[in-house]
Amino acid sequence: MSETTERLRARTQLAALATEQADPRYAGIEALSTLDLARTMNEADASVPTAVAAVLPEVAAAIDAVAARLAKGGRLRYVGAGTAGRMAVMDAAECPPTFSTDPELVKAILAGGKAAEGGAVEGTEDDAAAGIAAMASEHIGPADAVVGLAASGRTPFVVAAVEEARRRGALTVGLSCNTGTLLSEAAEHRIEVEVGPEVVAGSTRLKSGTAQKFVLNMISTITMVRLGKVYRNYMVDMRVANSKLAARAVRMLREITGADAEAAEAALAASGEHVKTAVVMLELGVEAPEAKARLEAAEGRLSGALGAA
């Protein structure tokens, strides 16, 4: 097949995608008032949670599989291009401060690299060879999990990366906003959130982007819950990096243990500003070294450290 024929075939496939269609309901939006257009977009966005709800069983299965890999020492890699890739970068970047994870545990691989984080780098999403090379560069193997994101489900960089990751034995997940996609075929776990046409036809930073952000929130947050980095509904593994977070840490300690402000502040300081350690200190009346030992014996799970008393 010639290069020209291949390009025409790819364009035809793209035009058939639901996310590329022009919805007649949104024809003439340029004539709407600003308020009416805002209402139109808000109504369209309101359909996203329902679309995500329809695939929650698939999302949950993927998360359980990801958490199992990470619990055994594996890593999580997001792979994306454009809007999807930039959202993945943001999600990965929030894991270290929120859950005190090693920066190497969850990372995003974006077509075009760092330069693409702030804007488009033309042609990079079509570079399948770069997607394959990225998996080699990250030394992806059987212990790891790779989540590919592409609203279209056909982005060459992402599809090739997921195919290569699967070939290397990694767990693979494909997150798209169309059905029967190349990405879904490439991945072991497929998550297809059918959001339909966008208010601005083809602008998949809108409903598609919102849907992908919803699912990314679930993947990272629920995985961390499964890894014991949340106690009740408190982010007890967060890094106390500024005054706002220090105040939040003291508030958590008081709410979890019932301690007064002075005791909570003292325990936080004695623990080296490690919330979990401070909780064990306050709840069990032990010093920081013993509290840390209990947490280590419980593999970092606060409920286990407290239950072992």
Residue 57, classified by CB atoms within 10 Å of its CB into exposed (0-12), middle (13-18) or buried (19+), is exposed
User: Cβ(100)–Cβ(239) under 8 Å?
Assistant: yes
269's tokens: 């300081």
Strand partners, 173: 147, 189
User: Cβ(277)–Cβ(249) under 8 Å?
Assistant: no
Of the residues 20, 58, 94, 273, only one is catalytic, namely 94
Q: How many angstroms separate the CA atoms of 247 and 307, rounded? A: 27
Amino acid at site 257:
T
Phi-psi region of 297 (alpha: psi -120 to 50; beta: other; left: phi over 0): alpha
Of the residues 20, 43, 122, 125, only one is catalytic, namely 125
Using CA atoms, how far residue 97 sits from 90, 156, 200, 254, 305, in Å, is 12, 32, 35, 21, 22
Q: How many angstroms separate the CA atoms of 268 and 274, rounded? A: 6
Q: How many CA atoms lie within 13 A of 149 on its CB side?
A: 30
Per the annotation, the verdict on 94 as an active-site residue is yes
Q: How many angstroms separate the CA atoms of 16 and 42, rounded? A: 26
Per the annotation, the verdict on 163 as an active-site residue is no
User: Cβ(147)–Cβ(120) under 8 Å?
Assistant: no
Just list the catalytic residues. Answer: 94, 125
